[in-house]
Amino acid sequence: MRRFKKDVMFNLSDFHEKNQILLNEMHSALSILEMLRILVDEEKIKWLQAWTTTHYTFSCAIYVNSHHNLEKWPVQVFQKVLPRHF
């Protein structure tokens, strides 16, 4: 996002047209929440536009549908480390 913003003609609503992020499995799914946080909290973009941009930026490849592949965090750790996301 920093590189994108350095462009003179940048418009964050166009971010998804020039950037695609493929998540492999679900281990990096928090990056979706982090992008929403950046757009809403730091860039002051309205929720619906932030969600639309995020929705069209990310895609996910899930190869095995098993609970063993899902990352699990204790609620207390999640609250402490990522309070805004929680």
Predicted confidence (pLDDT) at residue 8 exceeds the cutoff of 80: no
The neighbour count for residue 28, using CB atoms within 10 Å, is: 15
Instruction: Please report the pLDDT score of residue 62 as a whole number.
Output: 67
Spatial CA neighbour of 82 closest among 43, 36, 22, 50: 36
- Please answer whether residues 34 and 54 qualify as being in contact, where contact means their C-beta atoms are separated by less than 8 angstroms: no
Please report how many Cα atoms fall inside a 13 Å half-sphere around the Cα of residue 63, on the Cβ side.
Answer: 5
Q: What is the pLDDT of residues 21-66, one digit of tens each?
A: 988 766 677 889 999 999 999 999 999 999 999 999 998 876 666 6
All structural domains of the chain with their residue ranges: 2-81
Cα–Cα distance between 35 and 77 in angstroms, integer?
Answer: 20
- Please answer whether residues 50 and 36 qualify as being in contact, where contact means their C-beta atoms are separated by less than 8 angstroms: yes
